[in-house]
Amino acid sequence: MTDLSAFIAELPKVELHVHHVGSASPRIVAELAARHEGRSPVPADPDALADYFAFRDFAHFIEVYLSVVDLIRDPDDVWLLTHEVARELARQQVRYAELTVTPYSHVRRGIPAPAFCEAIEDARRRAEADFGIALRWCFDIPGEAGLPAAEETLRISLDERPDGLVAFGLGGPEIGVPRPQFKPYFDQARAAGLRSVPHAGETTGPQTVWDALRELGAERIGHGISAAQDPELLAYLAERRIPLEVCPTSNVRTRAVARIEEHPLRRLVDAGVRVTINSDDPPMFGTTLNDEYAVAARLLDADPDGLAALAREAVSASFLDPAGQARIIAEIDAFVATR
């Protein structure tokens, strides 16, 4: 019998829903906090971060998340974060990742947009050489900052247009942040060739997912788990093969789902919806992508073949070019054949 943990650990994977700052390991967060000690509430002791990352609700998560964003003060911080995130992903056999990056949060804290983009691009190229992982960017609007943030995120996306940029997104809280108001910005981003990947249906109901699809032209949905409440929406997603970026542990840690046993992953899969497994903000949620595959295995009663199918689904749902997708799928197939 194949040891499932060992299988997951070595399975080649891609990650489609993981946040740039939210992926900072306790070691990196503590190092950044020490650099800026006295100017941040974030502990400089890695062991103290577990308590700091104990979230009361989604609003508290956003508050803590932004305090970590405040630690990124200059392009050197940006480079360090990006390179180390790539290192952590590569250790889990991630071959390709689309990181959700929020340039607005850094630019408004004083890092010029050209310098920010130069730092992530240089770190991306170095990470591919150092770790064999390809990174791409989804520049997302922090929804809580409203339309000025949308305007600036679009401007940075179109004016700077770093080589790794493939998608345009919308993150932050959903409650009180209607999706339709962002339609003009998504229209312009899509017209410029960027793919649409807004968050929707995590802490709000199915209507938010409908709005992301109809108003923002979503090609993938970040989270989307409330779709399980709407049979018509499930059928729509299944028929049009629109993938969901599902992050099970995240949904529990932010209280979007009360207990992991209540997570709707199985209902989504049973309805024929394409799902990908992701880690969201892994160190903050005390998880990894490998851990999320183990959670998915329990929720779906998946064997190694089922987990390999999930890995292939993530590859095909990615915005990697067809040749790149084919290479990773061939690697997954070769790995499975040796087990």
Q: Which residues belong to the active site?
A: 202
What is d(CA 293, CA 279) in angstroms, rounded to the nearest whole number? 9
Distance CA 149, CA 140 (A): 9
Q: Which residues pair with 244 in a beta bridge?
A: 221, 275
Residue 31 tokens, joined: 């190092």
Looking at the chain, list the stretches that DSSP marks H as alpha helix, in order from N- to C-terminal side.
Answer: 4-10, 26-35, 49-52, 58-69, 75-91, 103-107, 113-131, 146-160, 183-191, 206-216, 231-240, 248-253, 265-270, 289-300, 304-317, 322-337
Q: Could you please report the per-residue DSSP string of 107-153?
A: HTTT--HHHHHHHHHHHHHHHHHHH--EEEEEEEEEGGGHHHHHHHH
DSSP state of 254: T
- Residues across the chain: 339
